[in-house]
Amino acid sequence: MARAAAADAVDADDGSTKVDVRAWLDAREGRREAVAGVFAIYDVDGVCQYVDYARNVEQAVRAVRGRVGAQRAAWTRVMAFRNAAMATKDVLASEARRWREALGTTPALNAEWDAEDEDDTKSARASVETTEPSKDPVVSPFAANVGADGESKVTEGDGVGSEDADAPKLELTMENVDKALDEVRPYLIADGGNVELMSIENGIVVVRLNGACGSCASSSATMKGGIEKLLKQKFGDAVEEVCNVSGELEEMSVETIEEYLGKLRNSIKSYGGECKVLTLERGVLLLEFKGPQALAFSIAESIKKKFPLVRECKIKQIA
């Protein structure tokens, strides 16, 4: 079961799911392409230990696990950038930095290794930085002037979403956001897709990528490197996050989330767990939970996938 789940996660690798490291590596085995991306490593208790980027994520994850062992590298979360035009060092480093900032603290291994003097052991990235990304990428609609080396030549003030940093920010409304998205729609349409604005709530902009964009392996990179970047340029700090939904947008409330948990309770109970919703404020959900820690993470990920407007799912463990 874990192996099958890991195989599904490898196919997606969209940064939304934690997977058992050993199972993820087994699922990657035999796949020839070297995928660039951002990854996080979690210990057996689900505490994030390391966040980084690499030209070959599989090699990097193996390097970290080999160095610290299975206890400190029990889970992984990966966002793959299969589009070479998006997998530039600047984009990867920016996304890794965003992951670390979202934690609110420096992961333990990042702090330990950054303090070391030896460059060859400072991070897992040192051994994989020169690995070539996969060949024949689909060029991102947001990458202008892509060179023969696959690196995007977009510079500050060039391309989609260029904004003067001092320019006044727009009011975050459905009308203004939809108008802003018109800047990227021609590129998406030319690539066989489109973007649809679904809702705005507490700074979270929910969109749906349609057509080829919805099924593209680079959709996560398109979201973060293109659409989210554009909207943050236009609306500043009013935009906390942009997320993509594939189906109908579920109404988010304590009642609807509790109803969803009700459908999972038999399964949760069979694994020795109990769970209920305590509070929901500005997209932050607090759950009361009893049972195995790994089960709590699975429940949290399932809820965030079902309700994209849940920005964070906190767990209050009880005995």
The string of pLDDT tens digits covering residues 174-186 is 999 999 988 888 7
* 71-84 residue pLDDT tens: 999 999 998 877 66
Residues 236 and 206 in one domain: yes
Q: Both 27 and 97 in a single domain? A: yes
Give the per-residue pLDDT at 88: 76
Q: Is the pLDDT of residue 224 over 90?
A: no
Mean predicted confidence (pLDDT) in 67-72: 91
Q: What does the DSSP 8-state code read for residue 131?
A: P
Task: Kindly report the pTM of this predicted structure.
Answer: 0.44
Question: Which of residues 203, 220, 244 is at a domain's end?
Answer: 244
Is the same domain home to 240 and 262?
no
Do 260 and 213 share a structural domain? no
In a domain, 214, yes or no: yes
pLDDT over 90, % of the chain: 21
Of 10-14, 179-183, 194-198, the poorest mean pLDDT is in: 10-14
Residue 196: the pLDDT is 86
Query: Could you tell me what percent of the chain has a pLDDT over 70?
Result: 71
Do residue 80 and residue 107 come from a single domain?
yes
Our count of domains for the chain comes to 3
In a domain, 144, yes or no: no
Rounded Cα gap, residues 150 and 88, in angstroms: 8
User: CATH number, domain at 301?
Assistant: 3.30.300.130
Average pLDDT, integer, range 224-243: 85
**78 located within any domain:** yes
Give me the sign of the Cα torsion angle 103, 106, 108, 109.
Answer: positive
In a domain, 11, yes or no: yes
In a domain, 151, yes or no: no
Beta bridge partners of 243: 206
Q: Check pLDDT > 80 for residue 267.
A: yes
Could you tell me if residue 15 is left (phi over 0), alpha (psi between -120 and 50 degrees) or otherwise beta? left
The answer to whether residues 226 and 310 belong to one domain is: no
The answer on 230 and 258 residing in a single domain is no
Work out the pLDDT band at 44, boundaries 50, 70, 90. Answer: very high
Query: What band does 151 get if pLDDT is binned at 50, 70 and 90?
Result: very low
- The size of the chain, in residues, is 319
Please indicate, yes or no, if residue 69 is contained in any of the structural domains: yes
Domain that holds residue 212: 174-244
- The region of weakest confidence among 40-44, 101-105, 117-121, 285-289 is 117-121
Over residues 91-124, the pLDDT tens digits come to 788 888 889 988 888 999 999 888 764 444 444 4
pLDDT of residue 207: 87
Same domain, 8 and 104: yes
197, 224, 244: which is the final residue of a domain?
A: 244
User: Tokens at residue 56, please?
Assistant: 């070959």
Position 114 in a domain: yes
Q: What is the mean pLDDT of residues 151-166?
A: 45
Of 244, 277, 296, the residue that ends a domain is: 244
Pair (58, 120) in one structural domain: yes
Torsion angle in degrees (nearest 10) through CA of 96, 97, 103, 107: 80
Residues 217, 273: one domain? no
Statement: residue 272 has pLDDT above 70: yes
The verdict on 83 and 181 lying in the same domain is: no
Is 155 inside a domain boundary? no
Residues 212 and 279 in one domain: no
